[in-house]
Structure 1
Amino acid sequence: MKAKHKFLSVLLVLCMVSCMVPAAVFAADNVPDSVWTDYAAAEFAGGTGTEQDPYQIATAEQLAKLSKDVSGGSNYQGKFFKLTESIDLSRHRWVPIGIYKWGLSGTSINKSFQGFLDGNHKTISGLIVDERTDKYSAGFFGNIRNIDGGTVGAKDLTISSANIYANEDGLEQLHAGILAGYALANPDKQIVFENISVSGTVVVERTDGHNNVGGMIGYGDRIKATNCKAENISVTGASNSGGFIGLGGGSSFENCKASGTVSGTWGLGGFVGYSYSTRLDGTEPSVYEKCAADVKIEGSDWRLGGFAGYAESGEFDNCVALGDVASTVDGWEPKVGGFIGESDSVAATACHATGTVTSESSTYEAGGFVGCYTDGTFEGCSFDNEKNSGLAAAGDGTISAGVAGGNSDDVLANICKDYYGGHTMQKTDKVEATCTTAGKEAYYTCEVCQKHFEDEAGNTEITDLENYGVIEKTGHTMKKTDKVEATCTTAGKEAYYTCEVCQKHFSDAEGNNEITKLEEYGIIPATEHKAGTEWKHNETSHWNECMNNCGEKLNEAAHSYEWVVDKEATATEAGSKHEECTVCGYKKAAVEIPATGTTDPTDPPKPTDPDKENSGTGTDSPQTGDTNHMMVWIVVMLLAGAGLTSTVLYGRKKKYSK
C-alpha cells in the first residue's frame, strides 16, 4: 500500500511540473496562438545602441523585446542593433517590429522602427506572422521608416522559410512582405537594405481592394536595396504583387534577385508589381539595375509582366525576366507581356525576357516584351520569339525601336553580355585523336546561353560544333609478329600485328580484325613425336628417329642378340660366327669356331646374353673337353661327406653325454 501511495505521489508531481512548462498551442495553418511579445526579455544582451556599440540580441526573447518596445512607442531612431546568434522564432507567433494599419474609415495606427539592424550574417528561421485578425502590416518589420534622417534599415541578414498571412478586409491598403510589410522614407531620405536573403510564403486573403505584397517588401518608398535576394518565394492571392517588392516608388534596386511564383489578380510582376515615381512630375522614378526575376506569374486580371506588372514609371537597366507569364483574362484587355505588363513613362536599356507568354483572351494579343505600350523608350532589348511565335514586341500599341525578337539562344546570349557582363565559360578540353577515333580541339561553352566558342573570351562563336575542330584519326602503325611453327612438344602461333601506338593486336595488317584475347589467338597445336620405320643403332642399343626431324630417339632398347654361323667348323678347319640383333640387325665382330677334330661338323654354340658377354665361355652347358664342371662335382662330393661325418659325430656325443 505504501509503494502504491509513493507511486501516485511521484506521478502527481510530474503532472504538476509538466503543467508549469510552457507549450506552444497552434491554430489553423500551424500558426501558434501565443505571441513572442508575451515572452519578451527585460534587457538586451548588451550594448548601448550606438553604431560602435550596438544593442546585442542573442535570443528570441531579446528580439521580441525590440518588437514589444516599438509597438509600445519606442522608435529607436538613430539606434543600432546587432544579432550575435541565429534565432528560431517558430515557437510563438511573431509580432512585426513596428505596426501600421490604414483602415477604410481613414483612421490609422502608426508606430515605426527607425533604427538599424545588423544581422551579422545570422539566420532567423521559423518566422510566422499572422495579421489576418489585427490587420497590421505583415512582415519581420511591420513598419520601418526614415523620418528624420540617419541610417535606417538592415543588412547581412537571412530569413528562411517564413510564413506570412494577411487579410485586407476592412483595410484601405494591405502591406505584406517577408522582410518588411511597409517601408517609407521621407523625401531626401532613404531606407537601406543590403545583403539580405529571404525565403518563404506570403498568403493574402480577399483581394477586392488594394494590396501591396512582395516576397521581400510589400510597400517601399525611397528604398535602396543592394545585393538582396527573395529566393523560392510564393506569393498568392494578391494584387500589386511582385517577387521582390509589391509597390515601389523613388527607390533603387541594384543586383537584386527574385525567384519563385506569384499568383493573384492584377498588377503582378516577377520583380515588382507596381513601379511608380514618388513625385507627381515623375522625376523620382524607381531605378532597377542588373536585377533578375525568375518568377512564374499567373493572374486572373490585367497588368502581368515577367519583371514588372505595371510600370507607371521606372528605369530598367540590364535587367532580365526569366519566368513564364500566364493570364486567364478573356472579357477585357489582359495587358500581359514577357517583361512589362503595361508601360507608361519608362526607359529600358539592355533588358531581356526569356519566358513564355500566354493569354486566354480571344480579342487581345499578348506582347513578347510589353503587354500594353502607352509610352516609354527602349534600347537593346529582346524577347524570345522562338517560344512566343507570332507575338510582336507589344501586344497593344507599337514599339518602334529598341526591342527585337530572337531565338532562345540569341536572347540568352544577350543576357550573358548585358546582365552577366560576359559569358560564363566552361572549357571542354582537347581530345587527342587515336588510331581508330577522331579527336577534337578544345572549345568553350557558356553555362547560361549554351553557345560554343573557340576562345574563352567568347570572341569566336562555333556555329557547327559537330564539325568544329575535328582531328582525323591517325590509323594504326603496325608491327608484325611472325608465325611460330609448332614442334613435337611445343605449340605454335599464327602471325599477328600489333599497333605501336595503341598496342592493340590484329590478325591482319589493315587492322580490320582486332584480336581481343591474344593468348588464345592462332594457337597451332604441338605435332607430337612420330617414329620412323628405320632403325638406328650403336654398340649397345637401337632406336627409331622422329620423322619430324626433331632428333628425338623413340622406342630405344638394348640389342637382343642371336648367334649366326658364318662358316661351319670342320675336323681340321676352324669356322666363324657372330652375334646379330634380332630387331635392328646390328652385328658384332665374328669369332672363331675351333676345328672339331672329327669328321662331323660342330654345332654352333648358343648366342651370348648381352648381360653375360664378359662372364667366360658364353655357354650354359659343358662342352667337350671342358674340365671345369668335373671339379665342381668333386667339390660337392667332398662337402657332402664332411656333412655326413659331422652328423655322426654329433649323434655319438649326445648319446654319451646322457
Structure 2
Amino acid sequence: MIKKKILAGMLSAVLVLTTNVGFASADTDKFTDINGHWGQSIINEAASLGIVGGYPEGNFLPDNLMKREEFYKLIVNVLTVKPDTSNTAVSFKDVDPIEWYVPTIKTAVAAGITKGYEDGAFGVGQMISRQEAAKVVASVISTDNLDTSKNASTAKDAAIIGEWALPYVNVMFQKGYMQGDNEGNFRPTMALTRAEAATLLLNVKKKETVIKGPAGVTPAPEITTPTGTAGCQRAHSVTAGAFTVGTGTAKDPYEVSTEAQLNHIRVHMSEGGYYKLTKDIKITSDFATMVSNTSTSAPNWSEGNFEPIGTEGNPFVGNFDGNSHSISGLNITGTVKGSTELGNIAGYAGLFGYVDSKSTIDGLTIEKSTITGSAYVGGIAGYSKGSITNCVLGESSSVTGQINTGGIVGYSKQRLKSNINKGAVEGTNTNTGGVVGTIDVEGDALYGCVNKGTVKGKSKIGGVVGFIAASSATVNIEKCSNAGKVSSSVNFAGGVAGQVDGSAYGVYITDCYNTGELSGEGINGGIIGYAMGSKTKISDCYNTGEINGKNSGGIVGSNEGDIEKCYNKGKIIADTEAGGIVAYQNTGEGHIQKCYNDGNVTANSNAGGIAGLSKDKIFNCYNTGNIKATDTAGGLVGLNYAPIQRSYNAGVIKGSNGIGSLTGRNRAKLTNCFWLTATGETDIGYEDSGSSKNIVMRLSKEQLSGQVKVKLDDGFQLLTNYLNNKDTSKVWEYTYRIEEAASSESASVISDGGGIVPPISISTTDEKGNVISSSDLNSGYIYPSLIDLKR
C-alpha cells in the first residue's frame, strides 16, 4: 500500500542522536534517502569520519529508531581509547554469543560503560531513550569545563527524568550536547532516531580529545527494569506519530495526544500494548491508503481519511483507554475488488477494523465522524472479540453498513457494557443495532447499553442490538434502553432488539425499556421485534413509545417465549395484529403473565389490550387502554386461540365486527375473567368452536374497584379473591387508601402510605366493600393492580 499522505517530521528540537548499524561502507554517495533531510550534511560528515554507516541497499534510514546494541556500536566507533577485551566475558541473559553485537558489548563492558539492567539483561532489541543515551555518552567524556549555569532543571519535564540518569543529563546540558525541544521539554523517555544519534556523536567526536570509558570502575545498572523507558518499543520509521511518552505497559501506557499518534497505533497493533488518549483529537490530515491497481483483495480506503486499525488477518491486540476523550473528523470508507455481492464496498470498517479477544477498549467517544462499509461496520469497531465498555457514538456521527452494522460495534464476541449510541445508524440489509449489529456470546451479553440515535434498516433492526442468539449457552440482556427512532423496511424492529433466538438455550431480557418511536413495514415490538424460541424470557420491561407497523406490540412483535411483569403505556398502531403487550403470541411453551396495557391500541383487524392474536396462555393481566379495530377487537385479545385466566379489561373497545370487551373472536376457555360494564356490549365478539367460559362476569365500576363485593356461588367476595384464585402467592392488590375496609380484620390497614389492603380471604353475606379515601377515589387508580409491578 502507498500512503496518500504521510506526516513526515519530527519533534523539532535538536533532540540529538541517531545510529547506524548497517555495517556497510560509510561512502556517503550510497545514501539514497537523506537528500533534503534536516540531518543530511551531519550524516554525510559523520559517515566520512567512520561514526555511522549505511545499509547494503544504500539507505541510511535517518528516521528509524535505534536499539540499545546499535547505539553502543556507535559509541565504540567514537572511542579514542579502546580497552583490551581478550579476557572479557559477557554474561547478559539476553545476549546471543554468535550475534554481531557481541564484540561491541564486550568493548562496552571492558571500558566500564555498561553493566546492563539489574535483572541481568543488556536490553537487546529495546529502543534506547534520550536519558539512557545521555548516561552512556556522559560516561566516556571529560567533565572538565562544564557550564554550570545550565542543567536539566530548566526542562519543563525535568520531574520525569530518572534519578539514576539526572547527573548524566546535567552533564549533557552543561556540555551543550543535548537540550530540550521547541516546547522546552527534554523528553527523557523518547527513543532516538539514527539522524539524532549522528548529530550527538559527531559533536562529541569533534569536540572531545579523549573519549574513553572509566575502565576499572564498576558502573551502576542503568535502570531498575529491563523494559526500557523509550516511547516506541520497537524499531520503525519515525513520523510525527511516534509515541514520546510511555512504554506501552499497563502502568505506563503509550500516551496518544495527536492524530498522527492515533494513526501510529497500527504500527504496534499486534504487540498487546496499552494506549491512553490524553486529549480530544480531531482528524484533519489524510491517513487513508490506496492499493495498486493490480491488487484483488486488499481494501482501498483512499475515499476517506483514515484506515481502520486492525484486520481479520492482523487484528488489533492491545488495550485502548479513551480516558473520557473524543476522536472526531473520521471519514472511513473503502472499496475492495471481487466483492460484487456487497457492491465492492470494504468491510470491517470502524476506528478499529478487527479487535482481538485479548483486547479492551474503554471510555472513548467518536464525534462528528462518518463510517461506511459492507459487513461488520461500527463506530468503535467493525468486528470485536474483545471488551468494549463505556464508549459513545456522538449525535453528529453516522455509521452505514449492509450486514452486521452497529453504532458502537458491528459484530461482537464479548460482553458490551455501558455503551451509548447517539448517532445515525443505517443497515441496508440485516442485523442492525444502535449499539451492536450482532452479538454472539455466552452469559452476560449486554448490560446498561443505551440508544438515543436513529436506527434504520431492512430486517432485524434494534435500538440496542439487531440480532442475538443463544446458540451454545444462556444469554442475558439487562438494563438496556432505547430513546431513539427505530425503523425497518421489511421486518422485525425492536426498541432493544430486532430479533433474539432462544430456541436452543435461554435468552433472558430483564429491566429494559423503550421510550422511542418504532415504525416499519413488518413486525415491530417496543422491546423485541421477534422473540424466537420457547426459551426466551422477557421480564420487568416496559414501553412508553409509539409503535407503528404491519404488526405491532408494546413489548414484543412476534413472541414464542415467556413475558412476565411487563407493561405498555405507548400508542400501538398496526395494519393487522396490534397488542399492548404482543402483536402475535405464537404457539409454543411460552405465556404472558402479570402484564398490563395502559396505551391505546388501533388496527384494521385483530387488536387487543394484551395481544392482537394469541395462540398461547395469558393469565394475571389487565388492560385499561382504549382498543379500536374495524374487525376483531378485544380488551384482552383480538383473535384468541388459547386459555386466558384471572384477568380483566377496563378499557373502551370500539369497532364494527367482532368486538368484545374480553376477546374479539374466541376459540378457547376464559376463566375468572372480568370486564367493566362501560367498556362494551359483550364479553366476546364472535364465539367459535372451542370457546368456553368459567366465571366470566361484567362488573360495575364499584365491583371492579372493591367498593362492592362480587357475589358468586360461594357468597360475596372482593374481586381480588377471584383474581388471586389458585395462586400460591398473591398476585393482585388494591393500592388506594381506605377510610373503612371491607372486613373488620383489615380495618387498620392503609395502603399507599404504609401498607396495602390485603385480599379478603373469607366470603360474607354482605356485599359491602371498601370505602375509598375521597382523594384516591377522584385521582388514584382504584382498580386491582399487580403486586410489585409499577403503574
Q: What TM-score, normalized by structure 2, do the two folds share?
A: 0.40
Q: Which has the larger radius of gyration?
A: 1
* Greater fraction of residues in strand: 1
Task: Between the two structures, name the one with larger relative contact order (CA 8 Å, sep ≥ 6).
Answer: 2
